Structure 1
Amino acid sequence: MKPEELHVSSLIVHVNIKKVDSIQASINLLNGAEVITISPEGKAIVVLEAPNQKQIMDVIDNINEIDGVINTGLVYHEFEKQQA
């Protein structure tokens, strides 16, 4: 049986502070994404979990498409293989 993977990433997402509420809600609706905090300057810390790297990249692409998102930077990425 093929081992399953768990990918965990953290991001800093620079956002337009005037749209922070809608951006946070939109990110939290994405599968495996959670906004941890947003600074008064508009820097959001986001954690992602997914079964593979492609899904992590897809969520990052979706975040970048949200109105008011200025830039997304990957800070950390780790994965572990798990036996099913």
Structure 2
Amino acid sequence: MKPEELHISSLIVHVNILKVDMIRAKINLLQGAEVITVSEQGKAIVVLEAPNQRIIMEVIDSINEIDGVINTGLVYHEFEKAEA
């Protein structure tokens, strides 16, 4: 059995500023995703938490599919063994 893990990633998501409210809402509905802030220039800081890297990548793919998302860049990724 594979040990439990916790993966944490942060992203910069460049968005169309005219669609920022809709994009923020859609990202916050994704599993383990939270928009921390969005700059006036349309750069959102997003944090992801998931039990494995595959889910992190699926959430990033889902963010990229949202209308108004221009680009997504992974800034940070770490994982730890989850404590029992």
TM-score (norm 1): 0.96
- The answer for the alignment partner of 1:40 in structure 2 is 40
Tell me, what secondary structure is at the counterpart of 1:75? strand
In structure 2, the partner of 1:55 is: 55
* Alpha-carbon distance, 1:83 to partner: 4.3
| RMSD (CA atoms) | 1.0
CA contact (8 A) 1:14 1:72 kept: yes
What percentage of residue pairs aligned between the two structures are identical? 82
The equivalent of 2:74 in structure 1 is 74
Tell me, in whole angstroms, the C-alpha distance in 2 between the residues paired with 1:18 and 1:54. Answer: 31
Cα distance in 1 for partners of 2:25, 2:67 equals: 12
Runs of 4+ that moved beyond 4 A:
none
**For residues 2 and 32 of structure 1, what CA distance do their matches in structure 2 show?**
21
Aligned length: 84
Instruction: Indicate if the aligned counterparts of 1:3 and 1:83 stay in contact, CA closer than 8 A.
Output: no
CA distance in 2, matches of 1:83, 1:44: 31
Spell out, residue by residue over 1:24-76, the C-alpha distance to the aligned partner (whole angstroms, 9 max, x if none).
00000001000000000000000000000000000000000000000000000
TM-score (norm 2): 0.96
Match of residue 15 from structure 2: 15
